[in-house]
Amino acid sequence: MGAAQAPSIAEESYLLTAAEVLACIRTGELTVEQYARALLDRIAERDSQVKAWAYLDRDYVLEQARALDAVPFEQRGPLHGMPIGVKDFNSGAYQGDFPELDAAPIKLLRAAGALLVGKTTTTEFAATGDGPATRNPHDLARTPGGSSSGSGASVGDFQVPVALGTQTGGSVVRPACFNGTYGFKPTWGRISREGLKFFSVTYDTLGFFTRGVDDLVLLADAFGLHDDSSLPASSRLSSLDSVAGLRLGLFRTMMWPHAGPGTRAAMDRAAALLRAHGAVVEDVELPAEFDRLPAWYDVVLACEGGSSFLPEYRANRAHLGALLVGYAETSGGHSHREYLEALDGIAALRPRMDALLAAYDAVLTPSAPDEAPLGSTTGSYLFCKMWSALHVPVLNVPGFQGVHGMPIGLSLLAPRFKDAQLLAVAAPLAAIFETEGGWTRQVHHKVPAPNGHRHLNGAGARKCETNGASRGTNHE
């Protein structure tokens, strides 16, 4: 008997990042339909366990893919063929409702040539801590985080390369940390929220889940997330290939007593790795004026949650959970005076934080207290909520490992409207964390190979000729 034939690029294309796949599509080595079928097969294999999707129509996905393949090359958009999962908002009040108009981010993605795969799961109105049925792909007994539960899990499980999330407190950063993905919350206000359901008008921000910084750069360029330098994010990324000489800060913040052993070890290892690679790393203490920020965050959240969910409360109270009923009825019991004090106090701190962050090329801070906890609750967002309040861009970078073998990420921060700078710094830093941090991304299968796992020559799927080798990916 001859040797078994190696899998084709199409068969294992689900392992590639979006940037790698788009390169294959541009060279003609892969069609959008071939890639869509590989993703749908992966979803069929795994989603009965992970449960990341609230709605998915296989036939419609393939119909979109064939339509994209029919577009002439010269008319294709910058994200042509990029599959994206879209976060749902999960409410019985809207069961069976199919909006006739796209939200602004979806309109932009369609115009750029993206392939919309389906709706990913979330908690009720993306507002509660009680998770949906979605499980963490790396340990089905653990939470994937939330509220962007399905988005984080689907990207972490290689079911889709990119997914949308929204962040009010930590709903992008925390699931990214728990599922071993990149999770990027841009500067507040940089991306239109027209057509999105709000929890908090002061905090809510659209974000992205990916398995690589290159994918985030493509998205940032498509959404126009350029800094005042006017350089696209991709131009800034190509100019920085090492952390040597970078000045980086470490923020442990007032939440540090809540950090578990995994996060503490990740912060220490990150600092040691960066110093070993030539970066200057400094511990930074937050001034006392930031001490009231967590409490102010809570006041604004409760008051704005009250006004946000009042329409559903009046029209469909029976379909609302107890937490959202409480918001609508009492706004957390806070007065207008307290709300104004919190709004004004947080607003005064934003330029102060910009000044602190501007002293560094980027600042590292914890993404979550520790690895994903057992159970269905979505975990703590204590380490995330202040950055949502301050409107700064935040990026979870994976690479570290907890005591139970689960992924742990750290957040990278920059001043407001320095999104492209943040991604530029993240690229060489992420390469270090993913290769030397201690955690290796794994591809889990419904039926394990006889020896429990297999390796594809130390890498993932075959690459197109235009791409270099990717970082190691294990199968089990």
Q: Which residues are catalytic?
A: 87, 147, 171
DSSP-derived secondary structure for 23-65? HHHHHTSS-HHHHHHHHHHHHHHHHHHH--EEE--HHHHHHHH
What one-letter code names the amino acid at 364? L
Give helix then strand counts, H and E, for the chain: 14, 14
User: Which whole-number Å values give the CA distances from 336 to 200, 293, 340, 394, 416, in the listed order?
Assistant: 16, 18, 6, 30, 28
What DSSP string runs through 70-94?
A: TS-GGG--TTTT-EEEEE----GGG
Euclidean distance between CA atoms 121 and 393, whole angstroms: 24
Nearest 5°: the CA angle 68, 222, 469 is: 75
Cβ–Cβ under 8 Å, residues 248 and 281: yes
SS3 324: helix
| Degrees, nearest 5: CA angle 164-168-171 | 50
Instruction: Report residue 391 as tokens.
Output: 């409107």
| Contacts by residues 59-66 (CB-CB < 8 Å, ≥ 24 positions apart) | 61/36, 61/115, 61/117, 61/118, 62/33, 62/36, 62/37, 64/36, 64/115, 64/116, 65/31, 65/32, 65/33, 65/35, 65/36, 65/115, 66/32, 66/33
Query: Going by C-beta distance under 8 Å and a sequence separation of 6 or more, which residues neighbour residue 431?
Result: 471
Specify the 3-state DSSP secondary structure of 219: helix
CA distance 188 to 193: 10
DSSP, collapsed to helix, strand or coil, labels residue 157 as coil
Strand, helix or coil for residue 123: coil
Measured on CA atoms in the order 148, 153, 156, 159, is the torsion positive or negative?
A: negative
As to burial, measured by CB atoms within 10 angstroms (0-12 exposed, 13-18 middle, 19+ buried), residue 231 is: middle
Single out the residue of 99, 127, 105, 88 nearest to residue 194, CA to CA: 105
For residue 127, the SS3 value is coil
